[in-house]
Structure 1
Amino acid sequence: MATRVDFHVKVLNDRVVRLAKARGIDVLVYAPHFTRVTTIEARAKRYSDDDLLVVPAREIFTGTWRNRKHVLGIGLTEPIPDFISLSGAMDALERSAGATLVPHPDFLTVSLDEDDLKRYDGIVDALEVYNPKHLSRHNDVARQLVDEIGIPAFGSSYAHLERTVGEVWTEFDRTISSTEELLDAIVSEADRRVERRTGLGHRTRCALEKGHLGYENTWKKIDRLLLSGLEPTHPDHIAYDGAFDDVSVY
């Protein structure tokens, strides 16, 4: 039995769950920004049921605001903060992640590039080749990187808006009913294909997500970083007990 996985969503509520099920999604990977993994795990468990598995994950915000790169960790056995160096994040993911994925490669200023991917080839388990925020050229570059480096592909809705959930999915030719089974499918390079919805509705939702990107990367982030005090995923937070002081960038 095949399994459809939406590999990266930022939103999770009753409406999102209903929409995911209506669009045939079997697994959602939930990775909101600036949220500690224990909080993500609790919310994922609350919304999982027999028809939809919600898997907790962390999209780690590495580097400074001017030199930031995002990495997605699934199956974490220890907390990893934001605002640490890329090398520090990759070391931590190698120790404690069941799988390490690269979202939106070579995209704007928030992504790993070809040199990064080659440097961490032994750690990265999959590379995103399509999400609604991409332009066509981003998809082309991602596909080229998959072919050149030999990293398995994945796709996701990268949904920051509720209606985008389930627009894109990765379909595995196997049943996946637990986080452990998802991790095994990723790291074993199980057969998969990236699929998406089509038509005017899809193009409209892609446009809305691209519009949201501009908002999220300006005033919202500036407020979080400069005006709102210490983030719960800042390496100086008591939750990390100083374990990342040597790789903190702020």
Structure 2
Amino acid sequence: MHVKVLDERVVRRAKARDLDALVYAPHFTRWPDVVDRAEDFSDDDLLVVPGRELFTGDWRTRRHVLALDLERPVPDFLTLEGTMNELAAQDALVLVPHPGFLTVSLGREHLETYRDQVDAVEVYNPKHLPWDNSRARRIAADMGLPAFTSSYAHLRGTVGECWTTFEADLEEPADVLTAVREGVPRQVDHRRGPAHLLRRGAEFAHLGWENSWKKFDRVYLSGTEPTHPGHVAYDGRFDDVRVY
């Protein structure tokens, strides 16, 4: 339900792990590019569904929101309220990755605010420590929200470590969206054993590099990046809710 990397090796690994679909939702990549890449790597054996993990708020108040079924591009670095209002206007699917995790997630208070807009909550993530996954399960259960899991793979080797099985035939990307939107019954599962623990450790180690302020400041804040709200592609539409 959520990978960050997509190439031929990822596709081969997904098929070897008997996956039928991936949601490809990279950081800081414009929606048309995500859609094109998802289409390029889809075939009769593997659906690749486009998504966007949106980076809301500034560096200190950042919250991640996973959006599917967008009608038009949404930039990063908007207020959380501005992002959620735009997703509501587009009737987009809203998924909550890694709830309550560190400082990059929607917490219980945010979910209470946007309860009617959220379609599912991630209850297992390889980057989580055991108590993080327990907290995520409690949040989903307490709020009566459907669950999902994902590899959240930033590294190719993590693809297929976790999966969500829907009780439905998913033959087209639209079928995946419908299954999520309608709350189709599903089961979440993941691999176990020493190899899975090593995979989780590798992904967690990658988290430190991914969240480096130096990297972030150098790469994402100049205003010319494709998902910066100041980029010419957005034509000033989000100037009233941008934080950078």
Letter in 2 for 1:198: R
In structure 1, what is the equivalent of residue 217 of structure 2? 222
Q: Give SS of 1:220's match.
A: helix
- Tell which has more relative contact order, 1 or 2 (C-alpha 8 A, sep 6+): 1
Alignment of 1:113 with 2:107, yes or no, is yes
Alignment of 1:150 with 2:144, yes or no, is yes
In structure 2, what is the equivalent of residue 28 of structure 1? 22
Give me the whole-angstrom Cα distance separating, in 2, the residues matched to 1:170 and 1:98.
20
Q: In the TM superposition, what whole-angstrom CA distance separates every residue of 1:119-171 from its partner, at most 9, and x where no partner exists?
A: 00011100001111011111111110111111100000000000001100110
CA contact (8 A) 1:36 1:233 kept: yes
Shift of 1:75: 0.8
In structure 2, what is the equivalent of residue 83 of structure 1? 77
In structure 1, what is the equivalent of residue 166 of structure 2? 172
Q: Give SS of 2:153's match.
A: coil
Which 4+ residue blocks in structure 1 deviate beyond 4 angstroms? Answer: none
Q: Give SS of 2:74's match.
A: coil
In structure 1, what is the equivalent of residue 241 of structure 2? 247
Shift of 1:97: 4.4
**Tell me, which stretches of 5 or more residues in structure 1 are unaligned?**
1-6
Letter in 2 for 1:23: R
The TM-score normalised by the length of structure 2 is 0.97
Q: In the TM superposition, what whole-angstrom CA distance separates every residue of 1:34-59 from its partner, at most 9, and x where no partner exists?
A: 00000000000000000000000000
In structure 2, what is the equivalent of residue 189 of structure 1? 183
In structure 2, what is the equivalent of residue 43 of structure 1? 37
In structure 2, what is the equivalent of residue 231 of structure 1? 225
CA contact (8 A) 1:155 1:194 kept: yes
CA contact (8 A) 1:167 1:197 kept: yes
Match of 1:62 among 38, 56, 68: 56
**Tell me, which stretches of 5 or more residues in structure 2 are unaligned?**
none
CA contact (8 A) 1:98 1:183 kept: no
Letter in 2 for 1:165: V
In structure 1, what is the equivalent of residue 198 of structure 2? 204
Alignment of 1:134 with 2:135, yes or no, is no
Letter in 2 for 1:133: K
Number of aligned positions between the proteins:
243
Range 28-37 or range 211-220, more displaced? 211-220
Shift of 1:223: 2.3
Give me the whole-angstrom Cα distance separating, in 2, the residues matched to 1:209 and 1:191.
29
Alignment of 1:9 with 2:3, yes or no, is yes
Percent identity (aligned) = 54
The TM-score normalised by the length of structure 1 is 0.95
CA contact (8 A) 1:74 1:97 kept: no
